[in-house]
Amino acid sequence: MEEKLEKIAFKRDGIEAMRYEDQYISRFGSHFSIKFDPEMRTGGVMPVGLGPNNAFAPLYLGFDIEEESVTSRWSLPVNYSWPFNKEEKAIRDFDIVRTMNRAKLISREDHSGLEVSFEFVSPFYPRDREISTAPFFYIRALLKNTSQEPLKGSVYIGLEDLKEKIRDDRGNIILSVPFAAAFRGPEMKPGRLLNYDLAVALTSGEAQAYRFDNISAYWDTHAVRYDLKPGEEFEKEFIFACYLTDESIVKYHGEDCDFYYKDHFFNVEEVIDFARENRQEILRKTDLFDSLFLNSSLPEEIRNFIAWNFHIYLGATWLLKHPLGRTFYTCYEGGTGYFSTIDVEYNLAPFYALFWPQLIADQLDIWAETYEKGNSERPFAFGSEHRIMEHDVGGGFEIDEQIYILGPMPVEENSNFILLNYLYYSYTGSLEYFEKHRQLCLDLADYIIDSDVNGNGLPDIGTNNTLDCFEDLYKDIEDQVFLGIKAGTALLVLARMLKDCDLQEESDRYSLRAREIFTTIDEKGWKEDHYILTLSDRKPEGWDGKSPLTTNGMAYLFFTGQELPLERSRLREDLTESAHDYTMWPSMGVWRDLVGCYFDLEPAGTYDFRPDFRGDMYPRSFNSLGMIQAYPGISISIPDGEIKISRRKDGRFPLTAFANWNSEKIPWIELKDGLAEITGQTERLTKMKVVIE
């Protein structure tokens, strides 16, 4: 095993040291992202259209300084890694300071006493589809004269001067360009050449039209003059927008679907008009969303880590409109191109629960409809009575059936579907979607029960799981403790939902089977100070080792304040022992930290990031957003009417699950000396009681 780990061990960094990873700022649901690379591996700043594998967008962003008879020009290395002529220099050394909705690139170059930064703003506001999906960024040029002499020059933003480019009567520069949309996967699904309109504009004021070349290209730009005395500052805001001109971006079970934003904007000019005319409201809501994290008592390194993950996640999201009028959400597994991979969505669900539960509901419907359809490509893996939830629901540009070539992960994915139903119920109080999919949940649960062949409760077949880069000891061996806990937890929460539907007899059946699993783990799975990896009679090398995966499948119980099926003191000790253990997927380490907070353990913050997943927007650790609730030990169950506090951590934290987003009213809870005070009450919150454990 040591030899195996040596081959796949990667750089280990704390959560405060993320610069070596790709960084993005992205739009929700519309596949418009900008990639920042301070290490200049891929050119510095890379606007991308549909995911990370596209060519560079032809954008220019820069400024010049007029000094006596010499004018020096600097630009962000956007379309090309650096200009080829001596008169222009690239800002190749910059720092990135980010929030949830902003990324500020601060130049560390010498600009003759001119401090320079460019701030990219990506508006996002929970449940506001129009603001969150409109495909544009605000870009702010921020200059400050720190020298003892006056400084003057111009700031430029523009597009490559090609024959497909126009300047319209409102001063917008518009360029029609094709992008090749490719994927690291998926199997059997081709990429496409997509046609976009790109546009740059000012939010207000006027600019001169300025055309120039820097040998690498001809540019048509807006040029805005600045003239700064010592100590003075200059700010100018631009809009960078895109619009997919092709019809039908995704086929959903044979039906053509478009991006949701195309239902509101007819062309890229209308996107720009929206950004201009609604700027005040857009930025107010953008600032409010940012403030939920900036004004919380989360440690700065955790806030930064969440914000970094947020835009990797956003770059993989789709909000689509069905031709029959239904709006629905799905998400790529990063650059792999698989739609709604259910094990990834299990990790993303804390965000959905706390900010936008409908995003869970949309995908529950997609999974159920795809399950019902079956899988023509792999009838041997599924079949008409397969009772196995698919790993994904399609890929590339088609939502129709699983295409992941390694096949299903039966017990884990079945458990994930049930658990996601439960999380939606816990954070909305609505059984609507569970009742809609109840029979499916029962079928999947029965498969979990039938997967136990040797009678100890734990699954023996269908145990292939998401740890697909590990040896069999982790990946698909029988009687896994990690998988047994997730399966048992799924049966427990299924029993809870059945009970709340007044189906007590069925509830008792699944509750009993769950207890059998946890009794076996309790009696046979504990060794001195940790839970072992597997109870398999084969006892392969390392079978009794410790693992940070133990509580992964139990995480939703902590989020919802439910009774734990295993001894609390043992779980705490197990987590303590595995705090710095190796994990292949960083989300696993994040889950360990999230659950650890409920045991009053500080996050270890030691995760491993696979280098082969860099550059593809894989939302590998966005479950970190759950820290906004887990760090203070907050659990929420709307059906139980309780907010539980299980950690003695003073601080101030938003209760976003009870926000009234329409009225922009978000309650906060302040914890101090074992007491809790709530401000900004909302109607939904008045029905809850706070319990401090």
Predicted pLDDT at 35: 81
Determine if the pTM surpasses 0.85.
Answer: yes
- Tokens at 114, concatenated: 């001119």
Q: Looking at residues 540-559, what average pLDDT do you find?
A: 91
Distance CA 570, CA 77 (A): 53
pLDDT band for 582, please (50, 70, 90 cuts).
low
pLDDT at 12 over 70: no
Contact 595, 629 (CB under 8 A): no
In the chain, the percentage of residues whose pLDDT exceeds 70 is 88
Q: Is 496 or 589 the better-scoring residue by pLDDT?
A: 496
pLDDT band for 104, please (50, 70, 90 cuts).
very high
**Residues 6 or more apart in contact with residue 569 via CB below 8 angstroms:** none
Predicted pLDDT at 385: 61
Predicted pLDDT at 471: 61
Q: At 655, is the secondary structure helix, strand, or coil? A: coil
Predicted pLDDT at 85: 52
> What number of other Cβ atoms are within 10 A of residue 383's Cβ?
12
Average pLDDT score, the chain: 88
Of 588, 648, 667, 599, nearest in space to 292 by CA: 667
CA atoms within 13 A on the CB side of 593: 27
Predicted pLDDT at 407: 76
Q: Is 384 or 11 the better-scoring residue by pLDDT?
A: 384
Distance CA 467, CA 464 (A): 8
Q: At 349, is the secondary structure helix, strand, or coil? A: helix
Predicted pLDDT at 18: 40
If you write DSSP's letter for every residue of 381-413 in order, what string do you get? TS-TT-----S-SEETTEESS---TT---HHHH
Q: Looking at residues 300-328, what average pLDDT do you find?
A: 93
Contact 113, 100 (CB under 8 A): no
Each residue's pLDDT tens digit, 40-99: 555 556 655 555 555 567 888 999 999 887 888 898 876 554 444 556 788 878 888 999
pLDDT at 111 over 60: yes
Q: Looking at residues 601-622, what average pLDDT do you find?
A: 78
**The CATH number of the domain covering residues in 31-289:** 2.70.98
Distance CA 176, CA 197 (A): 4
User: Does the fold of domain 333-628 match that of domain 31-289?
Assistant: no
Predicted pLDDT at 410: 92
Predicted pLDDT at 24: 86
Of 263, 400, 246, 414, nearest in space to 330 by CA: 400
Fold held by 333-628: Glycosyltransferase (1.50.10)
Contact 524, 480 (CB under 8 A): no
Each residue's pLDDT tens digit, 371-424: 988 766 555 455 456 789 989 999 989 999 888 877 788 999 999 999 999 999
pLDDT at 224 over 70: yes
Domain boundaries, the chain: 31-289, 333-628
